[in-house]
Amino acid sequence: MPRPKESKNKTKTIENVEEKIAAAEAEIEKLSAELKAKRIELRKLKIARKQADKAAAAIKAEQDKARLLVAIEKSGKSPEEIIELLNQ
């Protein structure tokens, strides 16, 4: 007695679905690992950006200080006069 086609197809369909599930789970694991690596990389880049911003701020402060000192010297006023002007 021949087997009905339906039972043969069901077995293949179940196996096919299980293969797809396994493939999807493997892809999820791979993507999760990539996401974790990217988050670590992002954290490191944010730290590097903060350090660069601090360094740039320090350089700008030094430049501002130098410009201020030059302006004070060019003004020809005494330090007391400048302090008096700043306090007004």
Q: How far apart are CA 64 and CA 9, in angstroms?
A: 80
- pLDDT at residue 15, as a whole number: 85
The conformation of residue 40, written as its DSSP 8-state character, comes to H
Length reported for the chain:
88
Residue 88 tokens read as 């007004």
Average confidence (pLDDT) over 6-29: 84
- Under DSSP, is residue 20 helix (H, G, I), strand (E, B) or coil? helix
The pLDDT tens digits for 42-83 are: 999 999 999 999 999 999 999 999 998 888 888 888 878 888
* pLDDT score recorded for residue 71: 86
2 DSSP assignment:
P
Which residue ranges make up each domain of the chain?
5-87
